[in-house]
Amino acid sequence: MRILVTGGAGYIGSHTLLELLGEQHDICVLDNYSNSSPEALSRVRLLTNADFLDVKADIRDDNALMNIFQDFQPEAVIHFAGLKAVGESGKVPLTYYENNIRGSLSLLKAMETVGCRRIVFSSSATVYGEPQYLPYDEAHPCAPTNPYGRTKYFVEEILKDWATSSFKNSAVLLRYFNPAGAHSSGSIGEDPNGIPNNLMPFISQVAVGKRDQLNVFGGDYDTRDGTGLRDYIHVSDLASAHMAAVNYSAAHTGVEAFNIGTGKGATVLEVVKAFEEASALRIPYVISPRRSGDIAASVADPKKAQELLGWKAKLTLNNMCQSAWKWQSQNLEGYGNPPEN
């Protein structure tokens, strides 16, 4: 299948490319590299020994999109491109609405011009907001508590309207829980700009000595050990969910949302312990005040994805820590300073 992958040079996109190329799909990556490096694509080529098109462009650039759609004529789009930092979204909400919502609208309009009818969208568990019950199932009310989450929620609503506007359209909304880990080779992984917001990359940078200690945000939550509990999902499992979603969209029209998680939660201190075991290092930490906007616990009910997509997470928290450690220790500067060999 000809698949356009927006944001394909990013963390989740690059891992998904490995799956897509492994299945011999014909790929075009569109990325503006605002939060990634073309080096990730070079490594995907090396790992797969496969080639694909890549175009440096912005999803808000209607002319560039039109050219790509007319030249490549994609049969499906996997739409990763977007800004993703919750904290930043509170400071520059308009930038988030502009990038994530207008970008998605431009993409849908370009799809319409060439009759491309299938899209798999990177949504997020943040669309649910404060849990009314756990685990979250897909019927849980959506009440996102920050601008980033609202961009995901609004794009989901736009995709619902688009999918119901023609009986030929198909939209699959993947609500990721907490992606973590790296490819087992250690040659592609998460490469955040500046100080990492997320737990696993922060711990990885403490492990390699780039940061002194982890601040554990809150030690008095109503969880097993008082620290925040999340459903961490290995990025390679997440990648395979996209294969399942593309296949599903080829066979089904309409719109469907799926939780992409494991159904199991781990606390911050459990992640620290698992990382210490994987790296054979001690991770110094200090219990700090709660981070504003954080919830105590978030866990997916992943049954629907298993039943309808035939997808289930296979990898464990230990696999996530081992691969994150391998990636970080082999690439101290991420993609910024490729190892010589």
Question: What is the binding site for ligand NAD (CB under 6 A)?
Answer: 7, 9-13, 31-36, 58-60, 80-84, 99, 103, 122, 124, 176, 179
Measure the CA–CA gap between 269 and 264, rounded to whole angstroms: 15
Binding ligand UDP (rule: CB under 6 A), the pick from 153, 202, 325, 327 is 202
Comparison of 119 and 214: residue with beta carbon closer to ligand UDP = 214
The alpha-carbon radius of gyration of the chain (Å, integer) is: 19
Identify residues 274-293 at the interface with ligand UDP (CB under 6 A).
291
Question: Angle at the Cα of 306 (from 303 to 311), degrees rounded to 5?
Answer: 140
Instruction: Confirm or reject binding of residue 182 to ligand UDP (CB under 6 A).
Output: no
Q: Which of 97, 128, 148, 232 is catalytic?
A: 148
> Does 136 participate in catalysis according to the annotation?
no
The CA distances from residue 139 to 135, 228, 304, in Å, are 11, 23, 11
If you search the block for the tokens 């309808």, which residue do you land on? Answer: 308
Measure the CA–CA gap between 68 and 106, rounded to whole angstroms: 13
Instruction: Confirm or reject binding of residue 146 to ligand UDP (CB under 6 A).
Output: no
Comparison of 148 and 311: residue with beta carbon closer to ligand UDP = 148
Residue 267's DSSP bridge partners are 229
Longest Cα–Cα distance of the chain, Å, equals 56
154 binds, among ligand UDP, ligand NAD, none (CB under 5 to 8 A by kind): none
Residue 178's DSSP bridge partners are 232
Comparison of 31 and 237: residue with beta carbon closer to ligand NAD = 31
DSSP string, 135-155: SB-TTSPP---SHHHHHHHHH
Residue type, 77: V
Binding ligand UDP (rule: CB under 6 A), the pick from 48, 197, 253, 316 is 197
If you search the block for the tokens 């799926």, which residue do you land on? Answer: 258
Instruction: Confirm or reject binding of residue 215 to ligand UDP (CB under 6 A).
Output: yes
Q: How many CB atoms lie within 10 A of CB 94?
A: 8
179 binds, among ligand UDP, ligand NAD, none (CB under 5 to 8 A by kind): ligand NAD
291 binds, among ligand UDP, ligand NAD, none (CB under 5 to 8 A by kind): ligand UDP
Instruction: Confirm or reject binding of residue 228 to ligand UDP (CB under 6 A).
Output: yes
Instruction: Confirm or reject binding of residue 204 to ligand UDP (CB under 6 A).
Output: no
Q: What ranges make up the beta strands (E) of the chain?
A: 2-6, 26-31, 53-56, 76-79, 118-124, 170-176, 178-180, 214-217, 229-230, 232-234, 254-260, 266-267, 285-288, 297-298
Instruction: Confirm or reject binding of residue 178 to ligand UDP (CB under 6 A).
Output: yes
Instruction: Confirm or reject binding of residue 294 to ligand UDP (CB under 6 A).
Output: yes
In whole angstroms, the minimum distance from the beta carbon of 231 to ligand NAD comes to: 11
228 binds, among ligand NAD, ligand UDP, none (CB under 5 to 8 A by kind): ligand UDP
Measure the CA–CA gap between 112 and 120, rounded to whole angstroms: 15
Piece of the chain touching ligand UDP by CB under 6 A; list 22-30, 152-160, 198-206, 312-320: 198-206
Instruction: Confirm or reject binding of residue 11 to ligand UDP (CB under 6 A).
Output: no
230 binds, among ligand NAD, ligand UDP, none (CB under 5 to 8 A by kind): ligand UDP
Sign of torsion over alpha carbons 3, 7, 9, 15: negative
DSSP label at 273?
H
Comparison of 76 and 268: residue with beta carbon closer to ligand UDP = 268
In whole angstroms, the minimum distance from the beta carbon of 90 to ligand NAD comes to: 15
33 binds, among ligand UDP, ligand NAD, none (CB under 5 to 8 A by kind): ligand NAD
Residue type, 236: S
H or E segment at 278? helix 268-279
Footprint of ligand UDP (CB under 6 A): 178, 197-199, 202, 214-217, 228, 230, 268, 291, 294
Catalytic residues: 148
